[in-house]
Amino acid sequence: MAKILAIESSCDETAVAIVDDGKLLANVVATQIAVHEKFGGVMPEIASRLHSENITVCLQQALDESKVRLEDIDAIAVTRGPGLIGCLHVGLQAAKTLAMLYDKPLIPVHHLAGHIYANEYIGELKFPLLCVVVSGGNTELVYMKDHLDFEIIGSTTDDAVGECFDKVARVLGLPYPGGLPIDLHAKQGKHTYDLPHPNAGAGKYDFSYSGLKTAVINLVHNLKMRGEAVRVDDMARSFEDVAIGMVVDNSMRAAKDYKVRQIVLAGGVSANSYLREQMKEKVGGTGIELVVPPLWCTTDNAAMIAKVGEHLYKLNYFAPLSLGVDPNWKIDDQLTLLKN
Ligand code: KG4
């Protein structure tokens, strides 16, 4: 095992973590949510600038909390993608600078691999497994036969599920990010609004969210035009049933077809209480184990990047300092990046 320092800056959280032989010694996260809230979404240019301001502060805090010296770190792991290009650059440049100055190996980590491996903080991953990656930027079903072996078997053909929660929340006048407010309102509501059940693309386990989003927006506008009140709780319930229903249905179908031992939830939307409840109910009696991440690792952090870093360190999976970011990096290329 090793001491790994990890950096994450792919969206609106600047994060630095340090692990030593699997033990998390520091996990510093500086979130920018309050800044982006007034725009109703992440402003990429502002996000990059804030990462530049925050990265050294987070680094210093992580070193102070862990009492580890940079000289004693074995490797620097960093999110290389996917994410916002300017944001990724800040983290990668910081990681490369440390790697060069202290002569440490550099480990490129896929952001979603991080979300999946965050679950190792609560238990062992058992293969084959199906990972349900649901966040503001991604909606993917990832099949894993073994460690670091990722195969995307289903994905969204348009919007990500979290993005859809955020847009629907906005049209309902709820704060950003909209996932939690919708989750809370839905608990008080009834499924009274008729919304379309989107027919996803060609793939058997694909998702589609743009039609559902547009249907809610149109319905809300029509109600307002007719001077009718929008029942926010009921709209949230009706929307959540369809949006989360799609995740649950596709996941259960794929899990059974692929005969997996575990279903692992990952990403910001995995905090959704209805998703957690529904998945627990559906796996009952199937023999499949459901792994639900603790809430602290459903949001972006560097502890999860460090976990993947540990696995890659064992493989000597080190990148040259010429490495660049990839905002569209595919998870199935995590291991092939340095083999081509
Ligand atoms: O993984 P994440 O922190 O950021 C990335 O997209 O990388 O996910 C953020 C997303 C947002 O769209 C947010 O609205 C959603 O996760 N979210 C939720 C809940 N909490 C956060 N969506 C549904 N229900 C929730 N309780």
Report residue 253 as tokens.
């179908």
340 pLDDT more than 70:
no
202 pLDDT more than 70:
no
User: For position 63, what pLDDT does the model report?
Assistant: 98
Q: How confident is the model at residue 338 (pLDDT cuts 50, 70, 90)?
A: confident
User: For position 88, what pLDDT does the model report?
Assistant: 98
Model pLDDT for residues 262-311, shown as the tens digit of each residue: 999 999 999 999 999 999 999 999 999 999 998 888 889 999 999 999 99
Whether 267 and 246 map to the same domain: the answer is yes
Whether 303 and 288 map to the same domain: the answer is no
Q: Which domain holds residue 96?
A: 3-116+298-339
Whether 129 and 244 map to the same domain: the answer is yes
- How many Å lie between the centroid of ligand 1 and the Cα of residue 134? 8
User: For position 200, what pLDDT does the model report?
Assistant: 62
> What are the pocket residues of ligand 1 if the criterion is a CB atom closer than 6 Å to any ligand atom?
11, 135-137, 162, 165-166, 177-180, 183, 267-269, 271-272, 299-300
Average pLDDT over residues 328-335: 93
Model pLDDT for residues 62-86, shown as the tens digit of each residue: 999 999 999 999 999 999 999 999 9
Q: What is the CATH number of the domain that holds 312?
A: 3.30.420.40
Q: Which of 134, 159, 165 to mutate to test the pocket of ligand 1 (most atoms within 8 A of CB)?
A: 165
Whether 303 and 270 map to the same domain: the answer is no
Model pLDDT for residues 220-255, shown as the tens digit of each residue: 999 999 999 999 999 999 999 999 999 999 999 999
Model pLDDT for residues 136-148, shown as the tens digit of each residue: 988 999 999 999 9
97-104 own/partner pairs: CB under 8 Å, 24+ apart? 98/5, 98/70, 99/321, 100/321, 102/70, 102/71, 102/73, 104/73, 104/74, 104/75, 104/76
102 pLDDT more than 90:
yes
Q: Which of 87, 117, 135 to mutate to test the pocket of ligand 1 (most atoms within 8 A of CB)?
A: 135
User: For position 198, what pLDDT does the model report?
Assistant: 80
Instruction: Please indicate, yes or no, whether the overall pTM of this predicted structure exceeds 0.85.
Output: yes
Whether 159 and 264 map to the same domain: the answer is yes
The percentage of the chain sitting over the pLDDT mark of 90, rounded to a whole number, equals: 89
- How many Å lie between the centroid of ligand 1 and the Cα of residue 188? 20
Average pLDDT over residues 118-135: 95
- How many Å lie between the centroid of ligand 1 and the Cα of residue 104? 34
- How many Å lie between the centroid of ligand 1 and the Cα of residue 260? 26
Report residue 38 as tokens.
């007034």
Model pLDDT for residues 24-68, shown as the tens digit of each residue: 999 999 998 888 888 878 889 999 999 999 999 999 999 999 999
Whether 77 and 206 map to the same domain: the answer is no
Whether 130 and 109 map to the same domain: the answer is no
Whether 102 and 224 map to the same domain: the answer is no
Whether 306 and 200 map to the same domain: the answer is no
User: For position 40, what pLDDT does the model report?
Assistant: 78
Q: Look at residues 257, 273, 292 and tell me which one is the last residue of a structural domain.
A: 292
User: For position 1, what pLDDT does the model report?
Assistant: 73
Q: How confident is the model at residue 197 (pLDDT cuts 50, 70, 90)?
A: confident
User: Which ligand 1 atom is at minimum distance from the Cα of 11?
Assistant: 7
Whether 282 and 327 map to the same domain: the answer is no
**Residue nearest to ligand 1 atom 4, measured at CA:** 136
Q: How confident is the model at residue 336 (pLDDT cuts 50, 70, 90)?
A: confident
Whether 130 and 279 map to the same domain: the answer is yes
Average pLDDT over residues 183-193: 98
Overall domain count for the chain: 2
- How many Å lie between the centroid of ligand 1 and the Cα of residue 181? 11
17 pLDDT more than 80:
yes
Whether 111 and 222 map to the same domain: the answer is no
